[in-house]
Structure 1
Amino acid sequence: MARNSTGRRVRHTDLLDNGLVADYTGPGLLPGQSTGGGVGAYLLSRAMPHLPPWLAAAGIGITGGLGSLKWEESAAAGVGLTLASVALTGATWWMGKSTTAQRRLHSAITVASASAWTTAACLAGPTAGPLPDLYLIGAPALALSWNIRMILRRNDAPGESGDKGLLEKVGLARAQIGQAKVEPNRVTAPLAVEAGEQTNDDVSTALGRIASALDLPTSAVRYQPDPDSSRRGDLVIVPEDMLAEAAYWQGPSNLGGSIADPLVIGRYDDGSPMFLWLPGDPEQGRNGTHVLVAGMSGSGKGESALNLQTEILSRRDVLLWLSDPKMFQDFRPLLPGIDWAAEGGTPTEVMVEAIQAVIPARTRWLGQHNYRQWVPAAAQVQNDPKHSCRADGRACGCTGMPYLVAWMEEAASTLRNLGDDAFTGIAQEARSAGVSLIVSLQRPSYDQMSTSTRASLPSVIALGCDPRDESFSLPDRVLDAGAHPGAWGNRRPGYCYLVTPGIDEARYASPGRTWGFGPNAVSLMEVLANWAQRNGATADPITAGAASSVAGNAYTGRPTPDGTPAGHAARDEDDLDDADYGPLVDPEDEGIDPEADLPEPEQGDDSPIFGQESGHKPTPEEAQRLLDRALAEFEHEGRMVVGPKDFTDWCDKHNLSRSWVSKRLKKAAEEGRLEATNTTGRWRIVPTLLAA
């Protein structure tokens, strides 16, 4: 017995009364099962549903016999018993007006016959005249009639009970229901609608009315169409919401395991765990996946992200790169275990450019080592000759390549800055490189991200949203099956639907809930981050090299416990003083005596700089030194993506026009010091050693 959303107790027998479950014997028992053992227990369990009419027949005989001892030949008792019989029969007819005419008439005849015989037995004695014969013939006949009715209600044309059943009420009168499978808190019934008249779409449309008839929330009733039929499927009813009580994160599910093992991020409404796989599995025929995390503000998107991130950091063969314009408000305890963490704006631009450079480098390495896709063996030292990059076929001994997860938190901000197709190329190409992209935002609509990017994110964790946004989060087939995230909004944080390769598609429309992260979780997350810092994977030379070739000092790898970078070493600040760039003095300030008096003002010193095309025109040699100096400082600061607006201070300091900067940037791009990005007017700095 369970409670629905209104607090009313919902029993499995309620489903039986509505014609959905046949031969139900108790919670958690399948038809034909019993709680006892042996043939006797089995026969008793089968006979028990049919005993009430016979017990009532025996009770009537006993009542007539006992009543005769008190009221035999009593005129007053005769009047009272007659009036009681008429009243009881009339009440039965009146109370049966809400049922079918057949049930109403059957009930009234049964009550009238039983009360008439009881009255006669009490007044004349149960053995007087024809009363014994009437009892011995009539009582079994009436009991059997109710047994037959019960059998016909359960075993007649499926979908039609004695009162024409639930399905008639919701417009599916001719639908046929097969043998239901009854599990604890779950009933699954095969359903087939009328051939040529209805389709699975009609069942999907009726789900709300079915939930209303059962007095259950809409999300408790789902329909999974048969992919091989347009009129058959499984109707699933979960009467109890086992997600109402929050369950809190108790730590990672598989500390030290592989990222190829399932990630556990919560539980379904029947209590089973929610699994998510990121890498593919060639043996299982499962591809790697990218993930969209979508939900309105207050729907629990941050905690859902924590569930997934803590699972990722607990694995030994994966790197996590995180971009978060909210300055890691939710994820700061995990920062020590994250290989690369970038705030919004330019740092995220640099990360996106680095990911685009890393993908072909990783794909090339995997291909050279005979991996069609990333598998856990790729993260190990390559001692297997089958995965050797050597031409002679001997083991190459190359350093392994960990899996890479690129997480874009609050991605709407990044998409506004970089364009709605910023992740399109990454999403389309990254899976074959052993890279999963995770995009988290509130509203994944077409005006936020391109349709190509959305189509390349096959997995989704869909939390509560505005009902009008459901189609942006979930595929139509999942919504048709009964998924309804708009019913939650932000009133049930953590409630979600999970659509991902590797789980049964019948689960797609089953609601789940991610683990909650209470105040006590912070210290446990810090412990996990420290474990990842000491035991987690470090970037392989291919990934680190490709990232550094784009990001320069912006990427140093996860710091080790002693504070030094785990990846490539950061450049020393004195490197800026080499002969390529000259001393740390502006060219126009060379030879100035700091003790000398300032010169007198000259004409034009007070002329405005901005908005004017005129200004100080340095010599070509001086211009080259100024630009090289500026790019070197940007590179040292990790600002690897720049545009004219980043040179505002330089224009102001050196009395240079904006048009001069734009021309010099184009010239630097021609010389290989800069490369164009996907965003108009933005350039990526090529690190000095590569540009040279």
Structure 2
Amino acid sequence: MAPRKNTRKTAAAAAVPVNSTEIVPVGRGGFLGHIVGHLAGKALPYLSPWAGAYSLPPLAGLATNQLWGQAPLSAGLASAALAVGGAGLTVVAWKSTPASSTFGKIRRAQATASVAAGMGWLTCATAAGPFGHPMLDLWLFGGGLFAASWNLRQLLRNGAAGEIPAEETGGGLGALAEAIGWEKVRVKAAKGTGKGTVKAALEVTDGATIEDVQGTAKKAAAALHLPPSGVVVTPDPEDAARGTLSMRVADLLKDGVQFIPPAALGLLPTDDIPVGLYADGEVWVLSPFAAVILQHLLVMGVTGAGKSEFCRTVLAHLMCRRKMSIFLVDVAKGRQTVGHIADGLDWLVTEEAEAKRLVRALPAAIKARGDVLADEGLDQWTPDSSLNAVLVWIEEAADLADFEELKEIARKARSVGIWLAISLQRATWTNVSTDVRANLQATACFGVDDPGDASFCLPDSVTAAGAIPAWGSERPGYAFSTGMGIPQERWTTEVRSTKTDRAYLTALVQAAAAVRDPLDETTAAALGQAYAQRSHRGTNRTTPGVAEAAPAVHAPAPAALTALPGAPTDRSAYVLEDDDMSEIEGAAAVELEEARAEILGAIPADPEPDAPYAHLRLEDDVPDTDDDTDLAFEDSERPSTEEARHILCVELDGFVQAGRLEFEPADLIPATVAAGRKRPWMQNELKRLTDLGVIRRDGHGQYTILASPLQPV
């Protein structure tokens, strides 16, 4: 997309010289004239001092001599007045000429000497006349020296003297430096990039630091009438006294950024992901799986700042790749954000209970994947592994899991190829602990209302440079981003994510079903029943009705995206709609409630609450029979240990078949009684099944079934 050229001239553009080359069409026979005009334009700045030196003094001297030089009294008075006025102008020239650098001090001395010499010659020429000796000689020699000195200064300023840089803090930047307190800052080689940005080298002197300059970035932006984030000062990592000044004088992204389609279908997760443009027009690219270390992502920004568009852009690209599986959790907005591309998600979670199952099942998947990578001789995941790369994108993760769970996942998942992305409005310590945030080393910070909120997401080095997206929701899509293979010098450059079209993304994801790989068996088995009973199942090349395709297919243009050959026209053939899900969940809930009522109904009420046996508990032994009674109890054979365990496992398997994966120990009392055991035995069995990885103990005495005990992982 070619961004519209911004013709608005800002104060920064006027203050800083921008190198440009203008191509002028030359007609027939006009080439020589064009050359002459070009040379004249180059020479004019150097001819001006000569023209002034050899025209203004004699004219001024002749005029004052004719007015006051004919009579001794008037000549003396006029000379005295001119002498006093010349002294005053000399002082003004000295005081008004900036001299914050060595080059500036030379310029001030030159300007002061020029004013003093000119006024001195005019004072003498008023009485003696301009064309007599020695006034004529002084004019001819002095004027030439004056013009030559200013020509030399122009050559030095324009860089004609080799390594001497452009004038430091001169012109517009010199005035800016004094206005915002940059007297100890040297601004060198300011140049326009031609893409709406002006960059210059900085060097501090006399004990100043680059951090001092960073603290005045907002003052500089205000002085130049730029946005608060329009001035960024980045330190040089190799020299504490140097840095780079970047001023964004034109917004090339204000008209939006079109979605950048994938170069081909069937790329690998390690290929670049284009998600937007930088302020200078360069493509904003993410390479999380190709980076030296897979860095988990923290996405932050207020409502309306553009987080959802960024999410859809990243997901759409990864849905078009091989060896890639995507889990997305959004219990707040459900299918609203990604419902139109849900076919590309292997697991879409919109209910809190299922979201907690996913989070609790991830540690087992991480361990299983680590064992496979160890057997394959890999220190971290690469496309050479038999495992898929996995993206787990969680919206508002703090509401779904405690900090310790997220910390464990974030710390261990990176080396096994599981990329964790957490999106929320404010990453304060109440929403995400500092330990979890420390493991989210990649960032995409969109607009925030409070500038201080940016520090919860972006690194200190970025916010200190002035890169703070404190524009709230007024500039949707604009952000600062770090990590994920982004060069560090780009961290302080504004970006804008692409706009997405629902119909286009739907067709693109549908076309990419032929190249999407299903989740690898190792990870699927390790996730257990939480994954096996997931409420949403995406489509891939193994889904019935999806045609096979070559590993890499050129991505179709938006107008060419159509249904794949052989694919069912009715997508409900393999995707459960919301109404279907509601019916299934409702039926399961009714069936579960009926089964529970049947179990409780089988236990008769106590007909004699005041009887001697009323105090007995389940853990107590059966009392001996009374000698006076004629009742006789038939001793039944007690089940063996293996039989007792089988009874308990059958009960748990029944929970799994009914779609119930959470339970409490009290729910297993009927099975414990049938096994002829007591509560301590049941507690030991629960601990044993936990160690085997069949169940997991959660808070408050609850358990989650990870796999059926009759079908162990």
Would you call these one fold, judging by a TM-score over 0.5? yes
The change in CA–CA distance for 1:478 and 1:129 in structure 2 (over 3 A counts) is same
Partner of 2:419 in structure 1? 436
Which residue identity lines up with residue 468 of structure 2 in the other structure?
H
Q: Which runs of 5+ in 1 are unaligned?
A: 17-23, 30-36, 76-81, 379-399, 567-571, 577-581, 592-598, 605-613, 652-661
Which residue identity lines up with residue 144 of structure 1 in the other structure?
A
Indicate the SS of the match to 2:348: strand
Partner of 1:397 in structure 2? none
Indicate the SS of the match to 1:377: coil
Partner of 1:9 in structure 2? 10
Distance 2:515 2:5 in 1: 46
The change in CA–CA distance for 1:643 and 1:279 in structure 2 (over 3 A counts) is farther
The change in CA–CA distance for 1:409 and 1:586 in structure 2 (over 3 A counts) is same
**Equivalent in 661, 666, 674 of residue 640 of structure 1:** 661
**Equivalent in 492, 517, 521 of residue 537 of structure 1:** 517
Distance 1:642 1:127 in 2: 114
User: What's the CA shift for 1:235?
Assistant: 2.5
Which residue identity lines up with residue 26 of structure 1 in the other structure?
S
Which residue identity lines up with residue 424 of structure 1 in the other structure?
K
The change in CA–CA distance for 1:526 and 1:157 in structure 2 (over 3 A counts) is closer
User: What's the CA shift for 1:444?
Assistant: 0.9
CA contact (8 A) 1:554 1:640 kept: no
The change in CA–CA distance for 1:339 and 1:295 in structure 2 (over 3 A counts) is same
Residues 175-574 of structure 1 correspond to what in structure 2 (within 5 A)?
175-180=185-190, 182-184=192-194, 185-194=196-205, 197-281=207-291, 286-325=292-331, 326-378=333-385, 400-414=386-400, 418-465=401-448, 466-485=450-469, 487-517=470-500, 521-554=501-534, 557-559=537-539, 560=543, 561=545, 563=573
The change in CA–CA distance for 1:204 and 1:369 in structure 2 (over 3 A counts) is same
CA contact (8 A) 1:296 1:442 kept: yes
Distance 1:676 1:600 in 2: 34
CA contact (8 A) 1:4 1:217 kept: no
CA contact (8 A) 1:358 1:547 kept: yes
User: What's the CA shift for 1:470?
Assistant: 1.6
Distance 1:267 1:189 in 2: 22
Partner of 2:630 in structure 1? none
**Equivalent in 676, 687, 690 of residue 707 of structure 2:** 687
User: What's the CA shift for 1:181?
Assistant: 5.7
The change in CA–CA distance for 1:324 and 1:91 in structure 2 (over 3 A counts) is farther
Distance 1:41 1:174 in 2: 43
Partner of 1:672 in structure 2? 689
Indicate the SS of the match to 1:635: helix
Distance 1:353 1:370 in 2: 27
User: What's the CA shift for 1:305?
Assistant: 0.9
CA contact (8 A) 2:6 2:252 kept: no
CA contact (8 A) 1:553 1:638 kept: yes
The change in CA–CA distance for 1:412 and 1:534 in structure 2 (over 3 A counts) is same
User: What's the CA shift for 1:635?
Assistant: 2.8
The change in CA–CA distance for 1:287 and 1:479 in structure 2 (over 3 A counts) is same
The change in CA–CA distance for 1:132 and 1:637 in structure 2 (over 3 A counts) is farther
Partner of 1:655 in structure 2? none
Distance 1:301 1:429 in 2: 26
Identity of aligned pairs, percent? 28
Distance 1:135 1:585 in 2: 118
Distance 2:178 2:685 in 1: 75
Number of corresponding residues: 592
Distance 1:409 1:275 in 2: 22
Distance 1:627 1:505 in 2: 57
CA contact (8 A) 2:443 2:457 kept: yes
User: What's the CA shift for 1:554?
Assistant: 2.4
CA RMSD for the aligned pairs?
5.5
Distance 2:318 2:375 in 1: 27
User: What's the CA shift for 1:676?
Assistant: 3.1
The change in CA–CA distance for 1:198 and 1:56 in structure 2 (over 3 A counts) is closer
The change in CA–CA distance for 1:147 and 1:208 in structure 2 (over 3 A counts) is farther
| Greater C-alpha Rg | 2
Distance 2:574 2:229 in 1: 51
CA contact (8 A) 1:4 1:216 kept: no
1:213-239 per-residue CA deviation (whole Å, 9 max, x = no partner) reads 333223222222222333222223332
Which residue identity lines up with residue 511 of structure 2 in the other structure?
W
User: What's the CA shift for 1:528?
Assistant: 2.0
User: What's the CA shift for 1:468?
Assistant: 2.2
Indicate the SS of the match to 1:189: strand
Answering whether residue 162 of structure 2 is matched by residue 161 of structure 1, we say no
Of 668-677 and 225-234, deviating more is 668-677
CA contact (8 A) 1:403 1:434 kept: yes
User: What's the CA shift for 1:663?
Assistant: 9.8
Of 534-543 and 435-444, deviating more is 534-543
